[in-house]
């Protein structure tokens, strides 16, 4: 191999490979997303919602915010539920060279309150 190729590999290719990756961060666990005391409800089944944001160089936001309430709203909208029980939240980051993505996921069992 020529010196130019080795230099190109060491300066360009190797750092790009090293900077690609993923990080996973556990979130929280809650019995419900809203108080249930004195209310009757019907379980609708499992619901999952996500929200994410994309960043340039890990600092400059390209898309909107990444919030737990938006992920919760997404889970409720997908299930037509009023609230979630057995709620878990987790976040993870994906790194692609100069672009990164942060994702928040909310899992739970959707419920509908009876009137």
DSSP string for 58-110: TTEE-S----HHHHHHHHHHHHT-SEEEEEEEEEEEEEETTEEEEEEEEEEEE
76 contact partners, CB below 8 Å, separation of at least 6: 47, 49, 82, 83, 84, 110
Average pLDDT taken over every residue of the chain: 88
Residue 83 counted as domain residue: yes
pTM for this structure? 0.75
Distance of CA 97 to the CA centre of its chain: 19
Of 7-11, 58-62, 65-69, 93-97, the one with minimum mean pLDDT is: 7-11
pLDDT at 11: 72
Residue 33 pLDDT greater than 80, yes or no? yes
CATH number at residue 87: 3.30.110
Residues 34-89 have pLDDT tens digits of 999 999 999 999 999 999 999 998 889 999 889 999 999 999 999 999 999 999 99
Structural domain including 39 reads 21-113
How many domains, the chain? 1
């Amino acid at each position: 191999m020529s010196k130019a190729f080795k230099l190109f590999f060491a300066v360009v290719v190797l750092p790009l490979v090293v900077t690609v990756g993923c990080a996973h961060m556990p979130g929280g666990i809650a019995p419900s997303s809203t108080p249930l005391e004195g209310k009757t409800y019907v379980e609708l089944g499992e619901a999952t919602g996500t929200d994410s944001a994309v960043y340039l160089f890990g600092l400059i936001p390209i898309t909107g915010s990444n919030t737990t309430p938006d992920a919760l709203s997404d889970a409720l909208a997908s299930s037509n539920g009023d609230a979630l029980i057995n709620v878990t939240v987790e976040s993870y980051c994906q790194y692609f060279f100069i672009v990164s993505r942060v994702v928040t996921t909310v899992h739970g069992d959707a419920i509908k309150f009876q009137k």
